[in-house]
Structure 1
Amino acid sequence: MLAMNKYKILGTAIVAVVASVVTTSCNDKRSTGWQYAPNMYEKIAYDADQKNEQFKDGKTAQVPPANTTPIGFTRFDFPGTKEGYEAASAAVVNPLVANAKNLEDGKKLFTTFCSPCHGVKGMGDGTVTTHGYPAPPSYSTGQSSRGGAMKDLTDGKIYHTITYGVNSMGSYASQVAPEERWKIVMYVHQLQNL
C-alpha cells in the first residue's frame, strides 16, 4: 500500500508539472521564452537616424567636433591638389620598416587593388586596358602626368595618389587602410626598379 501511495504522489506531481508547462507556454504565441541576454534584444542605444532629445538639433547622428581625430584614424594633412601632391613629396616618408613581411603584404595588396589597371609588374598592362580604358604609365619607364619619371616618384607622391587618385584613377582611401597604403608604396618602389 505504501508503494501505491508513492506512485500516486509521483504521478500527480508529474501531471501537475506537465499541466503547468503546457498552460504557461500557450499564453503568448509570440514569446520565445526566457531571454538569456535581454540587452541583445532590447537595445539601449539610439539608431543613427532616430530623433534624440539630448541634442539641440534633435538628431542622433552628430558631426564630430572640429579639429578632432577619431581613435585609430591616421591624419594625412595634405589637400588633394597639385600643391598638396608636391608638399607630400617633400614632407612625407614611409613610417614602416622595409622588411620581407611588409613587402610581401604590399605585393598582395598591389595585386588585389592595383594590378587590374597597372598590371602585375607595374608596366601599365592591366586587364582593364583590354576593355577600352587608357593604360597607366609604367612605373619603370613611364612619365607621370604630373611631371617627371614614374621611377622617380617619392613615398609622399605615391601615398598622395593612392589617397586622392589622379586622372582616371579614383581614390583608394576607402578601400585601403593607411598602413596598407604604405606597404603598397614599398612594393611600388620595387616595381620602379624593374
Structure 2
Amino acid sequence: MLAMNKFKLLGITAISIAASVLVTACKDKRSTGWEYAPNMYRHIAYDPDQENLNFADGKTAQVPPKGTIPVGFTRFNYANTNAGYDSASRTLVSPKVYNFKDGEVLYQHFCGPCHGMTGQGDGLVVKHGYPAPPSYSTGQSSRGGAMKDLTDGKIYHTITYGLNAMGSYASQLSPEERWKVVAYVRHLQTL
C-alpha cells in the first residue's frame, strides 16, 4: 500500500509539473523568458539610416574623410588616359617577382575566354563571332607597337582599366593577382 501511495504521489507531481509548464508556456508566445546575447536584440549602435545628433548634418552614415584609403585597398596612381598608360609603361613595375605559373589559372579563367589559352586571340568568344584580340606573340597593339613588346606597366594598366572591347578586371582581380597575370602574359609573349 505504501508503494502504491508513492506512485500516486509521483503521478500527481508529474501531472502538476506538466500542467504548470503548459500554463506558463502559453502566457507569452513572443518571449521564452531567456535572452541570449541581449545586445543582438537591443544594440546601442546607430543604424546607418538612423538620425544621429552626434554629427552636424544629423546623419549616421558619413562620407569618409578626404584622402583616406580603405583597409586593404591599394591605390593605383595612373589615370585611365593615354598619358597614364605611357606613364605606367615607364615607371610601373611589379613589387615582387612572380613565377609565370602563379598566374596561369587566373589567366585561364579571366583572360582565356577571349585571348585563348595560349594568347593567340583564339578564345571561345571569338568562335561565337566576337572580334579577336591580337596575339601576344605576333599581334599589334591598338595603341601602337607589337604585343610582344608590351611592358609590365602597360599590361597591368590594361588589366586595371580595360581597353577597346575588353572591360576592366580591377573588381575581379586583386592587385597581386593582376601582377601574377602580367607574369603569365609575359610568358605567352615569348611563345
Same fold (TM over 0.5): yes
Q: 1:48 deviation in Å?
A: 4.1
Separation of aligned partners in 2, 1:15 and 1:185: 76
CA–CA distance in 2 between the matches of 1:75 and 1:178? 9
Which residue is equivalent to 2:169? 172
Distance 1:69 1:31, change over 3 A: same
State the match for 1:61 in structure 2.
Answer: 61
Q: How does 1:116-131 map to 2 (within 5 A)?
A: 116-131=113-128
1:149 aligns with 2:143: no
Aligned-pair CA distance for 1:9: 4.0
Q: CA deviation at 1:56?
A: 3.3
Q: Among 161, 183, 187, which residue is 1:190 paired with?
A: 187
| Residues 40 and 11 of structure 1, relative CA distance in 2, 3 Å threshold | same
Question: Displacement, 1:68?
Answer: 1.1
Give deviations 1:158-185, integer Å, cap 9, x for gaps.
1111110111111111111111111101
- Distance, in Å, in 2 between the alignment partners of 1:75 and 1:63 is 18
Residues paired across the two proteins, number: 191
Residue 21 of structure 2 is matched in structure 1 by 21
- Flag structure 1 segments of 5+ consecutive residues without an equivalent: none
Q: Note the 1:7-156 alignment, pairs <5 A.
A: 7-31=7-31, 34-40=34-40, 45-99=45-99, 103-156=100-153
Q: 1:30 to 1:170 in 2, by over 3 A?
A: same
Question: Could you say if the C-alpha distance between residues 47 and 106 of structure 1 is closer, same or farther in structure 2, counting changes exceeding 3 Å?
Answer: farther
Confirm whether residue 158 of structure 1 aligns to residue 155 of structure 2: yes
For 2:189, give the aligned amino acid.
Q
Q: Name the CA shift for 1:114/1:60 in 2 (closer, same or farther; >3 Å).
A: farther
Counterparts in 2 of 1:38 and 1:171: CA distance versus 1, 3 Å: same
Change (3 A) 1:88 1:54: same
Percent identity of paired positions between Structure 1 and Structure 2:
68
Q: Secondary structure at the match of 2:159?
A: helix
Q: Which whole-Å CA distance do the structure 1 matches of 2:48 and 2:131 have between them? A: 41
- What letter matches 1:120 in structure 2? M
